Amino acid sequence: MIKKYLLIAATAFLTLPACNNNCQNDKSAASSSPSFDEVLTTRRSIRSYDATKKISENEVRELFKAVQEAPSWANNQPTKYYVAMSKEKVEAVQNLVGGNKDRIANAPVLIVSTFEKGKSGFFNGNAANEIGDGWGAYDNGLSNCYLIMKARAMGFDTLIMGMRDSEGLRKEFNIPENETVMAVISLGYRDGEPKQPGHRPFDEVINFF
């Protein structure tokens, strides 16, 4: 009888799925990945970057694969991005963001965000409602939100800048006239921990009926 139970136990052990170092690596990767709530609560607008840390083109490509999942009006996907990574282009963009220049001095990547006019908010060339191209800006904001959240999930930090020389950026990246230049977004690693900003009282911004 004992031999029978030993045989059953040995058979069960041998039929367990094999695990190698990849299993441990998968567990480590899962444990190191932040939860969605952690991404939300640790994301900050970063105004000081670690000059010793760089970001590769492959990492930026991975980031934008997630950004492409952002929703848009009738899936028109009006948002476009111009990514400065070379020293020459990064310096050029730094000189086109006004007072934010010093704040992003050590960010290794600068991203110009635009949207194509006449796409979101339009049917057959006609505005669907009074907002018109405002829907293009709305969709651009959704894409940018995906960008900064995915960036934080990857361990990066960002700053969305509205102060920018749109015509200078248009010339620098040959941005066509049918695109509206919205923002410049810095991408890098934070240099130190920023303070958590305050929020308006919940009942001032949320209305239940």
pLDDT tens digit sequence for 132-183: 999 999 999 999 999 999 999 999 999 999 999 999 999 999 999 999 999 9
What residue spans define the domains of the chain?
34-193
Domain 34-193 has CATH 3.40.50.2300: no
pTM: 0.84
C-alpha distances in Å from residue 8, one per residue of 1, 11, 17? 11, 5, 17
The CA angle 69-162-201, to the nearest 5 degrees, is: 80
Q: Could you tell me the pLDDT band of residue 31, with boundaries at 50, 70 and 90?
A: low
What pLDDT digit, counting tens, does each position of 90-112 carry? 999 999 999 999 999 999 999 99
Rounded-to-integer distance, Cα 158 and Cα 154, Å: 12
